Structure formats: C-alpha cells, structure tokens
Amino acid sequence: MTPPGTASEPTAEGGPALRTGTASGAVAAVPAAAGTRTEASPEGGPGTAAGTGPGAGPHPRRWWALAAVAVGQLMIAADATVLHIALPTIQPDLGLGDGIRHWPITAFALAYAGLLLLGGRLPRLLGLRTCLLIGLGGFAAASLPAGLAGNPETLIAARGLQGAFGALYTPSALALLGTTFTAPADRARAFGVYGTIMGASTAVGLVLGGALTEWAGWRWSLLVAVPIACTALIGVLVTVHADPPGERGRLDVPGALLGTAGLIALVHGFGRTGTVGWGDPLTPLLLALGVGLLVAFVRVQRRSPHPLLPLRLFANRARVVSYLSVFAMAMGTFAGFFLLTFALQDARGLDPLRTGLAFLPYPLAMIVGVRCLRRPLERVAPHRLLVPGLLLTGFGLALLPVLGPDSPYPTHILPIFALLGLGGAAVLVTANSTATRDAGPDTAVAGALVMVSMQVGSAFGVAGLGAVAAATAGGDSVTDVLRGHGIAGLVAAGLLAGTAALVLFLSRARADSRFT
C-alpha cells in the first residue's frame, strides 16, 4: 500500500503512476510520453480511471470506471447460473440428450475456471484496458450464437467461449480495482461493491434466468448479455486509461498448458459426481490427473523466469489465508444452495421462478454486510473479518438439520440465506481486497487466484457434500433426503469452523499480516 504523500511507480497492469494525496483518492493524471513517468497534481490520488489535468480537484470518474467494470462482472458471473432454470425448456427445443444436457452449464464452468490463471497473466502482456475490452467484446460476440443456437453443439461451444472471455475479464477487473483504489476508504467501498456483485451473482442469475425463460423465452436469458456487455464496454472505453508503454513480460507456455489442463480436469472431475456419481471410473481418474498436473505446474513455476503464477504471492500470509477462506466459504455456500434448491422445489413444490426469488435474501444480506464492513476493512487485520465470515457461513449451514417438508420459509429458510449472505460478504470483500493489495505487477494474477479458489471450492462442495447427503439420507422420501441434507450441513459447518481455526492460527503466526 502506498502511503499518502508518496509516489507510486507505474505497473504493467495498473495504468499510469499517480502521486497519492488526499484520502479521497482524486485523480488528476497527466498523459505519459513513451517510457516516461506520469505525475499527478498534489491533490490527485491513485487510479487508472481517466482524470482531468494538473491542478484539478477530486474527479469522480474512477467511480464511473468501477460502475462499468461492475456491470460487466455481474453479467459474466450471473451467466454462470442463468441457464440452470432454463435447461428443462432448452432440452426439448434443441434435442439435448440426457447424457449431454448439463454441458451448456459445464462448458462455461470449465472454460472459466480453467483459464482464470492465464487470464490473470495476459494483462501483463496485452495491457489491462485491452484485456477488459477483449473480454467484454468477446463475451458479447459469444452470447449471440449461444442465444441463437439451433443445435446442441453450437450452444455448448458458444458457452465455452463465454467462459473463456469471462476468465480474461474477471482478473483484469480485479486488477483495475486493486491499482485504482488504494486510499483505505475508497478501497473499502470499491471492494464492497465488487464483493456484493460476486456474491449476489448466483441469485441474480437464477432470478434473471427464471424470469426471462418464463416471460420471453430461454434464448433471451443469453441474448440479454449482448446489450449489457456493450454498455459496459463503452463505459470502459470512456473511463479507463490505456496502459503506459513498458515491460510486458513473456508468457509461460508450459505453465499455461499445465495450469489450465489441471484446473479443467479437477473441476470437471468434481462436476461429474453430480451427473454420473463417484462410481464412474473416469471421475477419480480426472481428479488424480488434475492433482498431478497441478503438482507439475508448481514445479514448472519454480524454474520459470516468467511464471504464470509467481510463487512469491504466497509469501504473504494474509493473502494465503484469504485464498483458503474463499475456498471454504464457496465450498459451504454453493453446497448449501444445492441443498436448499431441493428443499424449495421438491419439498415445498415451488416453481423455478419462485425458487429464484426465494434466494433474494442472500444478496440483500450481502449488501447489509458490505455496508457494515467499510470501516473495519480499513482498520483491522484480515483474519478479524475472515474468521467471523467463515463462522457465520458455518452457522447458517448448521441450521439445515431443522428443515422439514413443511418448515415455514420466514423462520427456517430465510435465516439460512441471511447468514450465508453476511458470511459471504465478510469473506469475499476482505479476500479480494487483501489478495490484490501490494501485489504490483502480479495484481491480476493475485485477483484471479481468488476466483480460482471460489470455483474449485464450489465444485468440491457440491460434489463432496452432495455425496455426504446422498449417503446419509437412508431413503428416497422427502423426509429422508432432508435428513441427509441436514447431516451434510453439519459436516460443512464443521469444516468451516476448522478452517476458521486454521486461519486464526496462521494469521497470528505473523504480526505484519495487517491491512495497514
């Protein structure tokens, strides 16, 4: 973190260097000549959002830049779940067989999770603004054939392209926040907005997919991304500076291949458990292959002069516990969503749209949690927010055993969503801010690792805790299934409590793992 009154050097991802002034983080940038340093007026503050000229007062355009990238990120993240409710309608329309009906969702998830690390390194080569624009433009372009698809192959391929361009965009968006908002108050607010978007995207995707499928047809659940992406693209063009000339670095091709293949194999292996179960021989083979490839990836990174994932990122203990916390939070939260969907649809008989609406307390609780976090985020050590966030998430999952077929929504289900939302806000906002702080030219990769942790954690949670629920149900009746879900909830709560204890232990081992 650059203290007020000092100058920050330009980085490959962060745009022009600016001199920090007031806590407001006002921007007043001077266009840089090739190879020269960019200065700001004393009143200016850090940022890559476009500024005015020397001597200008606080300029709000950095907040417009935040709005632009936030709209794009919400669209991409919501698209991960927008087809969950639409699939039963898509299947007869396109002739999706039972064996491939999950692939429109799986293709997006695999491309997104597998390419995040590569997406985190490309801003160093292409420039941050360029990656944002390519990500948005590519996502919009891929959404057209997805929404207009006349056969399963086109839909699946287009969804994979959506995931790939999303993986390029997300690390760049996080890097923009990490290098633009360095004043503590501004940083807390900016990462609060971003964390809310990431946490709420699942519910937004479910509600949007259900509403558009019912009122306009399933194709519009994909086509709606085109105007949204174009709007965000125009916003980025207007508000985000082009990166200054400088050392771009090289691409670690062996690392890119190993890391991408390893993540795809690992996420696909976990994902298969929901469709073919753990008994299929390909499932453990994929998981073993994923682990082996990632071990080889780490060894390559140790020797590479231009690593895809600089291992120096893990020298910061606060960053490590942030990744661990996001993994555990995603594991519990997404498993909870999976279990609660059954409780709402099968046990209570809600239609898909009303099921999506039932998730709304989750993003609302996140908004409340983010507002409560702004002051503590500026002042306290990360573990003081991560540990309560993990415990709140675990407490919410520990309430699953009380659910029965006739449990009232306001008193039994709504509190679970509220606790998951509050816990998710504490973990996501803190982790995103901590991971990208002081990462310099590795800011995009540091942010990408947050999303990798979230993707792998969610896949592991749905697969592992779903298996626990199925194994402990003891029957096929609604009561039996809910009993299995309750046991899985207790297991998840125990894992989250254990993770919280580990985070506390690791954080206290170093006295310098504070925000400030």
Query: pLDDT-derived band of residue 342, with 50, 70 and 90 as boundaries?
Result: confident
Lowest mean pLDDT: which of 51-60, 66-75, 392-401?
A: 51-60
Q: Are 129 and 240 in contact (CB under 8 A)?
A: yes
Q: What is the pLDDT of residues 363-380, one digit of tens each?
A: 899 889 988 888 888 788
Query: pLDDT-derived band of residue 60, with 50, 70 and 90 as boundaries?
Result: low
pLDDT at residue number 274 = 67
Task: Record the tokens describing residue 350, joined without a space.
Answer: 């809600």
Q: What are the distances in angstroms from CA 239 to CA 47, 203, 277? A: 11, 29, 48
Query: pLDDT-derived band of residue 4, with 50, 70 and 90 as boundaries?
Result: very low
Asked if the model's pLDDT at residue 234 lies above 90, the reply is yes
Q: What average pLDDT does this structure show over 102-115?
A: 89
More confident residue, 515 or 327: 327
Q: What average pLDDT does this structure show over 230-256?
A: 82
What span, in angstroms and rounded, lies between the C-alpha atoms of 243 and 245? 7
Query: pLDDT-derived band of residue 332, with 50, 70 and 90 as boundaries?
Result: very high
312 CB neighbour count, 10 Å cutoff: 11
Q: DSSP string of 106-173?
A: HHHHHHHHHHHHHHHHHHHHH-HHHHHHHHHHHHHHHHHHHHT-SSHHHHHHHHHHHHHHHHHHHHHH
Topology classification of domain 316-516: Growth Hormone; Chain: A; (1.20.1250)
Homologous superfamily (CATH) for 58-184+205-247: MFS general substrate transporter like domains (1.20.1250.20)
The counts of H helices and E strands in the chain are 17, 0
What span, in angstroms and rounded, lies between the C-alpha atoms of 179 and 176? 5
What span, in angstroms and rounded, lies between the C-alpha atoms of 181 and 63? 10
Q: What is the pLDDT of residues 156-178, one digit of tens each?
A: 999 999 999 999 999 999 889 88
What span, in angstroms and rounded, lies between the C-alpha atoms of 441 and 248? 10
Query: pLDDT-derived band of residue 21, with 50, 70 and 90 as boundaries?
Result: very low
pLDDT at residue number 516 = 33
Q: Are 195 and 181 in contact (CB under 8 A)?
A: no
Q: Does the predicted TM-score (pTM) go above 0.85? A: no
Task: Record the tokens describing residue 34, joined without a space.
Answer: 């090739």
Q: What is the pLDDT of residues 345-366, one digit of tens each?
A: 777 877 777 877 888 899 899 8
pLDDT at residue number 183 = 84
Asked if the model's pLDDT at residue 237 lies above 80, the reply is yes
Asked if the model's pLDDT at residue 50 lies above 60, the reply is no
Q: What average pLDDT does this structure show over 238-266?
A: 82
pLDDT at residue number 354 = 82
Asked if the model's pLDDT at residue 193 lies above 90, the reply is no
Q: Closest Cα to residue 115, out of 166, 172, 178, 174? A: 166
CA 461, 195, 236, 515 torsion: positive or negative? negative
pLDDT at residue number 34 = 34
Fold matches, 58-184+205-247 and 316-516: yes
Query: pLDDT-derived band of residue 273, with 50, 70 and 90 as boundaries?
Result: confident
Q: Are 298 and 254 in contact (CB under 8 A)?
A: no
Q: What average pLDDT does this structure show over 240-245?
A: 73
Domain boundaries in the chain?
58-184+205-247, 252-307, 316-516
